[in-house]
Amino acid sequence: MLHLYYTPGTCSLATHIALEEAGAQYEATLVDFRSAEQTKPEYHAINPNGRVPALVTEEGILTESPAILLFIAAQFPDARLAPFDDPFLLGKVQEMNAYLSSTLHVAHAHRFRGYRWADDEAAIKEMSRKAFEVVETCFVHVEENLFAGPFAVGDSYTIADCYLFNFTTWMEADEVDLTRVPKLHEYRERLKERPAIQRALAAQKV
C-alpha cells in the first residue's frame, strides 16, 4: 500500500488530492513541523531533505511533488490524471508543474526561509519583504501565460490541477491581489466543490 507523509499548509496537499482523485488505497502520516519532526532521524530515513511530501511505494520512496504526481497518474491510468496519449499536452502539464515547483514555490519560500540563501539578517528580512511582490508576479504569470481554462492546461482535469489548486490556497496569505488573478480565483472556488479535494482538505484539516 502507498504511504503518504504530509504536513498541512504545504505542497503535500497536491499529492493528497491526487491520491483521492485516483481512488488509491493509501495510508497517511502527519509530519509535525511544529515539533520539528521533519528534522528527526526517523523522518530523514524517509526523506533526507526533511521535507514533504514523501510517498512510500512498493518500489521505493519518491520525493518532490512533480515526480510523485506523475507516478500517481501513471500508476492509476483509469483516473486519467495525465494525457499520456498526447505528448504536447503532457508537456504542458509538466510545464505548469515545473514552474510551480521551481519558481512560484521558491518565491513563496523566501517569506519564511531566507536563511537558505543568506546568513545576513538584513538580507533575510529584505527577502521576506520582497517575497510578496515576487509571488504575486508569479501568480499573474500563471494566470496570463500558463493557465488554459477551465482546468490548468485545458478541458481535462489533470495532476497539474492537483498542484495548481494547492498553490491557490496560499494566495491570501501571500497577499496576492485577487483582482489581478480573477481566473485563478474563480478556478480555486470552483475546484473546492470536487469531492476528492474536499476529502483531502478534510483529511489535512485545512
pTM over 0.85: yes
- What ranges in 40-194 are assigned the alpha helix state H? 41-44, 65-75, 87-99, 105-109, 121-141, 159-168, 182-191
Single-letter amino acid, residue 134: V
User: Over its length of 206 residues, how does the chain's per-residue pLDDT go in tens digits?
Assistant: 999 999 999 999 999 999 999 999 999 999 999 999 999 999 999 999 999 999 999 999 999 999 999 999 999 999 999 999 999 999 999 999 999 999 999 999 999 888 889 899 999 999 999 999 999 999 999 999 999 999 999 999 999 999 999 999 999 999 999 999 999 999 999 999 999 999 999 999 85
User: Cα-atom radius of gyration of the chain, to the nearest Å?
Assistant: 17
Domains of the chain: 2-80 (3.40.30.10), 87-194 (1.20.1050.10)
- What is d(CA 202, CA 186) in angstroms, rounded to the nearest whole number? 21
3-state helix, strand, coil in the chain (%, to 5): 60, 10, 35
How buried is residue 82: exposed, middle or buried, by Cβ count under 10 Å (0-12/13-18/19+)?
buried
